């Protein structure tokens, strides 16, 4: 399993617009082959700092999603809302405690 964490810094006055776009695309992501979990997390102390947190069966499924037209289209809509470059990590579990 791959855990993907994407850190996004959103311009504060664009947060509600970003969330609306995420709500729409989250249905597509959740139904994409290989995705078993998706959530959007918001920092409690920093306005506009959000994290997209997802589980993928394998890295290829995640890459296929990232290369999909739906992902590219969404990215082009939300990227102008960022006030910093997105950061992303693909992780695998080592041990569950």
The string of DSSP letters for 10-26 reads: B-GGGHHHHHHHHHHHH
Domain map (residue ranges) of the chain: 2-91
Residue 62 is predicted with a pLDDT of 94
Topology of the domain covering 2-91:
Alpha-Beta Plaits (3.30.70)
- Condensed to tens digits (0 to 9), the pLDDT of residues 12-61 reads 999 999 999 999 889 999 999 999 999 999 999 999 999 999 999 999 99
- Condensed to tens digits (0 to 9), the pLDDT of residues 74-86 reads 899 999 999 999 9
Query: How is residue 91 written in tokens?
Result: 């992780």
Residue 93 is predicted with a pLDDT of 84
Q: How far apart are the first and last CA of the chain?
A: 16
**Predicted confidence (pLDDT) at residue 97 exceeds the cutoff of 80:** no
Of 35 and 94, the structure prediction assigns the larger pLDDT to 35
Q: What are the residues whose beta carbons fall under 8 Å from the beta carbon of 71, sequence distance 6 or more?
A: 25, 29, 65
């Amino acid at each position: 399993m791959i855990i993907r964490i994407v850190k996004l810094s959103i311009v504060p006055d664009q947060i509600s617009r970003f969330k609306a776009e995420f709500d729409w695309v989250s249905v597509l992501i959740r139904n994409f082959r290989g995705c078993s979990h998706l959530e959007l997390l918001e920092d409690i102390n920093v306005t506009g700092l959000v994290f997209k947190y997802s589980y993928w069966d394998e890295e290829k499924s995640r890459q296929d999603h990232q290369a999909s037209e739906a992902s590219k289209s969404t990215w082009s809509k939300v990227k102008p809302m960022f006030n910093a470059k997105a950061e992303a990590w693909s992780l695998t579990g080592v041990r569950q405690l």
